[in-house]
Structure 1
């Protein structure tokens, strides 16, 4: 700063302390702005890392659930094939119990092969007792995962029939009676 007095020409210089204090203030302002910028970057980086971590955890959890479901399902499917048939727990029924002989009417015979716990046994071939007057159509002779086998029965002659089912050469203790009129 230069100031001229009318009486004398004199130069007023700021003191050294004033120059330093102005520079220090400027440096403090710049440092504060750098700190704020650094903090903003740190917060943004932390937030992004958090989001990525949550997404990764979600992905890992999803993969775990899918693999667990697959493991449980494959265990259930394989155990349905390895179970042993308990004849006393297995049963068969007919619907309807009566049909017209010599017509297109059929009676559906449903057989359930179950194990000792009452669970279906899959992959077993069921055979219905043979009667020359009965026409037996094998709809699903091999049991499914529920242990179910299906047959349609018709007859050209009117009569009452006692139908039995067997698996692996063993006859189920239960029989079902159907009538063709």
Structure 2
């Protein structure tokens, strides 16, 4: 009788181990799928750019007006679900005194486009981002001293 009980206990332990291993593998598979599906929407799928969800920011906000110090402008082109939209041509709208250097003017897999701005004329300048001649996000202010 002890031998039968011992075999049943051993089989249950083996079954429990296999079940836990399968649950672990399933959990890892779901996490990997989530990570890969979190990228920007494919251009052939969702291409509608949301002007209210898209945004941009400056880093730093202030620089010297000496034609050498740059302010980095990062633009994120997003759809209405907040997912980045790839392969969108982004342009910046600003005063003619401000010069633009496009680091990456076409949005990447996360909807990100990158520019550097600079000037030799001190002032507070409003910067807007455009996609397909449509303003996206809110204007930001760059200060050159």
Question: Does TM, scored on the shorter chain, surpass 0.5?
Answer: yes
Cα deviation, residue 78, structure 1 = 8.6
- The structure in which a higher percent of residues are strand is 2
* 1:89 corresponds to 2:65: no
Aligned partners of 1:134, 1:107: CA distance in 2, in Å?
A: 11
Equivalents in 2 of 1:153, 1:146: separation in Å? 22
Aligned to 2:91: 127
- 1:167 paired residue number: 131
Which aligned runs of 4 or more in structure 1 are off by greater than 3 angstroms?
A: 75-79
Residue in structure 1 matched with residue 143 of structure 2 by the alignment: 179
Counterparts in 2 of 1:79 and 1:159: CA distance versus 1, 3 Å: closer
Q: Report which stretch shifted further, 86-95 or 164-173.
A: 164-173
Shift of 1:131: 2.2
Work out whether residues 128 and 164 of structure 1, in 8 Å CA contact, stay in contact via their aligned partners in 2: yes
Match of 2:4 in 1: none
Q: Deviations over 1:140-160 (max 9, x none)?
A: 000001000000000011010
What value does the CA root-mean-square deviation take over the aligned residues? 2.2
1:137–1:76 Cα change, 3 Å: same
Which sections of structure 2, spanning at least 5 residues, go unmatched?
1-28
Report if the CA contact (8 A) 1:80-1:120 is conserved. Answer: no
Higher helix share: 1
Q: Aligned match of 2:42 in 58, 77, 80?
A: 80
Higher relative contact order (Cα pairs below 8 Å, separated by 6+ residues): 2
Q: 2:82 aligns with which of 118, 142, 146?
A: 118
After TM superposition, the score normalised by the length of structure 1 is 0.56
Q: Which has the larger radius of gyration?
A: 1
Q: Matches of 2:116 and 2:64 in 1, distance apart?
A: 14
In structure 2, relative to structure 1, the CA distance for the partners of 1:173 and 1:148 (3 Å cut) is closer
In the alignment, which residue of structure 1 is the partner of 2:70? 106
CA distance in 2, matches of 1:91, 1:120: 11
Tell me how far 1:102 sits from its aligned partner. Answer: 1.3
User: Cα–Cα, structure 1 residues 127 and 93, in superposed 2: closer, same or farther, change >3 Å?
Assistant: same
User: Aligned pairs, how many?
Assistant: 112
